[in-house]
Structure 1
């Protein structure tokens, strides 16, 4: 965090190299978060650029009350929310999964699980989806998420509670839909649950 605070301070002084370093430090994390949030790579990139334009112009306003990442993602959140509202009139593009790497030793199962989770997350209201992404994907605390989303901590907790409840219902439904579409039951999570019983 000290490195990030130093970078923001240098950006506030007009240091372009510090700005580039800060941009590269955050780009991948923000791209993954924003692509999963917006389901549009082009919109995610636009939000990243808009966010860093604000960071460049407003770095002097960073008071250090929170981590630089919380401040930057707060800007990105507000920009994404506005971009989603503006884009809701246009046609959505397919999710570009360039920033959703597989981490499992079994790539086909990891891809299937990722697809189910992505589908389930897409069915959540935007505010709940954001809270889930910030908490579980990026590891922010409820207090940090409240700062980013500019809402009370209890609102964040409520959004996470409702999101978990919806995901608990949606994931088995998605697994069942895949099996009905012809996937082999032996390959899906529902089948594995049956074997474990």
Structure 2
């Protein structure tokens, strides 16, 4: 279904001003399509409904930032895709851990209690490191890696150049790689001892 761009822009402006009726219109306008889209990823209606509702609640809670969004439809669908992928990552028992020695990933089953504990420790330290990044660096990292936006979209959202986005992301990844490397080294040393 093609949505009139002018109508959508007016709706977006009204939601950004806190108009609840416009938000309800926006919700009804996209709900069925977003639900079907989420189902492509999560394959369960209840979970898809939860994903869509979480995204729409997040949009309402951050309504002031909507004025910065250039393409609302793309923004909403990207948010649903990312929330769906985050759900799968969080609740899947299989994860890929980077393996520094082979420059590949190692697939681990988190039903293994030892691996689960290891993964939780790495995740904990990684989240701490993300929180300690400088503000712009942290925002860029989260928008790209957690929300799934492209460089150009992040540049538009934050009103900075795409080059600055690239530089900030590079800095974030470089710092976070150091954090992960410490725990991967510990993990690999422990695995060699048990062999």
TM-score normalized with structure 1 length: 0.49
User: Could you say which structure has the higher strand fraction?
Assistant: 2
Q: TM-score, normalised by structure 2?
A: 0.50
